[in-house]
Amino acid sequence: GRLHAKFLQNGTTTGRFSSQDPNLQNLPIKSELGKKIRNGFVAGEGYKLLAFDYSQIELRVVAMLSGDKRMTQIFRQEKDIHAGVASFVFGVPIEKVDSEMRRKAKVINFGIIYGMGVSSLRKSLGGTRQEAQKFYDNYFNQFSGVRDYLERVKAFAMKHSYTETLFGRRRYFPNINSRIPFLKNMAERTAINAPVQGTATADIIKLAIRYVEEDLEKKNLLDRTHLVLQIHDELVYETESGILSEVEKIIKNTMQTVLERSYLHYKIDIPLVVHSGSGNNLGEVK
């Protein structure tokens, strides 16, 4: 049989879809039980599941919105972003970056998106506060474009009580100037994150869904290919086995050219990279 979950357009404050009855965006992945659960979601007879996900979409959006030259350079050269950042922060060639350096760079890369401060960084990295402060300062010295962008977003939010995504969609923060420190700090952290997450996992993914449907319809493939699941930066389609390669190529190209195709006609310096996989069930597509 078929399981029909609900997907809500306005179920989150960031603009992302939410899912309920049941929540299919929160399927376990890493545990053995999780794998068995995912294996239970199977394609129909004569069909395959095709999954597509944007690679490091939020960090790519950070680079786009901030215009940081070094982060942009890493993505344009198609290098590993965490190793690339570690190379600049630790002052070593990228081929000399070890696993621990990369781990630390990964922590701060994703941490800055959510307004991570020195205290939270210390907890994630271990070590002393002084070491965390040094790493934090060095990161923003090397990636000053990111630092300046985050400061601009915060200042704008404090002045106007809202932020905007790349496409101009607003999110309001009534507590951004609160006299209660806890509420103010929470609003500041969320405001810093809102344009990035709202652009990456809301605006871009929704445009991708629309454009994929248009392109499949042009090729008369829409009646044999159906969107069955959306999980944050991932889209899962069910398609006839005989047209698998053709559909995979179309969807991948469409997802990678969303920004240029949008009404903004955004001239992108940083490529959107999409990974894909297929299988008979959801557990096989990764």
Residue 165 CB coordination number (10 Å):
22
Segments of the chain with pLDDT less than 50: none
pLDDT at 208: 97
What pTM value is reported for the model? 0.92
pLDDT at 190: 95
pLDDT at 223: 96
> In a 3-state reduction of DSSP, which class is residue 136?
helix
Which part of the chain is CATH 3.30.70.370?
Answer: 6-57+202-279
What whole-number distance in Å separates Cα of residue 244 and Cα of residue 229? Answer: 17
pLDDT at 113: 82
pLDDT at 213: 98
> In a 3-state reduction of DSSP, which class is residue 274?
strand
Rounded CA Rg of the chain: 20
CB 148 within 8 A of CB 71: no
pLDDT at 126: 86
Q: Tokens in use for 282?
A: 């959801």
Burial 255-273 (b: 16+ CB within 10 A, else e): bbebbebbeeeeeeebebb
pLDDT at 252: 98
Q: Tokens in use for 29?
A: 């992945």
pLDDT at 7: 92
pLDDT at 164: 97
Domain 6-57+202-279 has CATH 3.30.70.370: yes
CB 250 within 8 A of CB 219: yes
